[in-house]
Every structure is written in C-alpha cells, then in structure tokens.
Amino acid sequence: METILAKGDYPEIGYKRAMGVIQLHKAYGAERLDNACKRALQADAVSYMRIRNILKNNLDKSSLFYRDLEEDKSHIPDHGNIRGASAYR
C-alpha cells in the first residue's frame, strides 16, 4: 500500500487505488492477494492493474513464484577461503 500511495501525484488517487487493491480480497481471498502483492513487489511493478492481472491470470499460484520466495540463498557456495565485505575496508 505504501508504494501505491507514494506513486500517485495526488493523495486521493493513491487512496482510491489502494482501496481497489483492498477490495480484491473479496473476489480472490486474503492469502492470494497477499501472494500477488509479494509478487508485484518482487517484480518492482506495483499497481492496482498489475496486482489484479496477477490474480486474474493465477500467477500468484505459479510454482516459479514460490521458488523465488524461498529464503535468500547465497549464490556463492560456502568455502573457508571466501572473504566477506569486512575484508575490503
């Protein structure tokens, strides 16, 4: 909601868009709405239309999405010879 409210030029427009997103829970449920919002945030594409399209196309249920939501796993393998950021100060 913060992102939607911050994007609008006028507070009233942002408020209407935020209320539209909240109203989507009636048709799709709170859990699906939450997952759609997470996906939109992850893609840096937060808007009412994007969230509605994610829900409409069932992209919030996509298995690819859930793999992306897993805990942040480092792409660097654990090894005793790898230095962290503190070694470069």
More confident site: 80 or 13: 13
Per-residue pLDDT at 68: 52
Residue 78 to residue 18: CA distance in whole angstroms: 43
Per DSSP, the three-state class of 16 is helix
How many C-beta atoms surround the C-beta of residue 43 within 10 A?
13
Does 74 or 32 have the greater pLDDT score? 32
Percent of the chain whose predicted confidence (pLDDT) is above 90 = 11
| 53-87 pLDDT per residue, tens | 999 998 888 755 545 555 556 666 777 777 777 87
Examine the pLDDT at 36 and tell me if it is beyond 80: yes
Burial of 60 (0-12, 13-18, 19+ CB in 10 A): buried
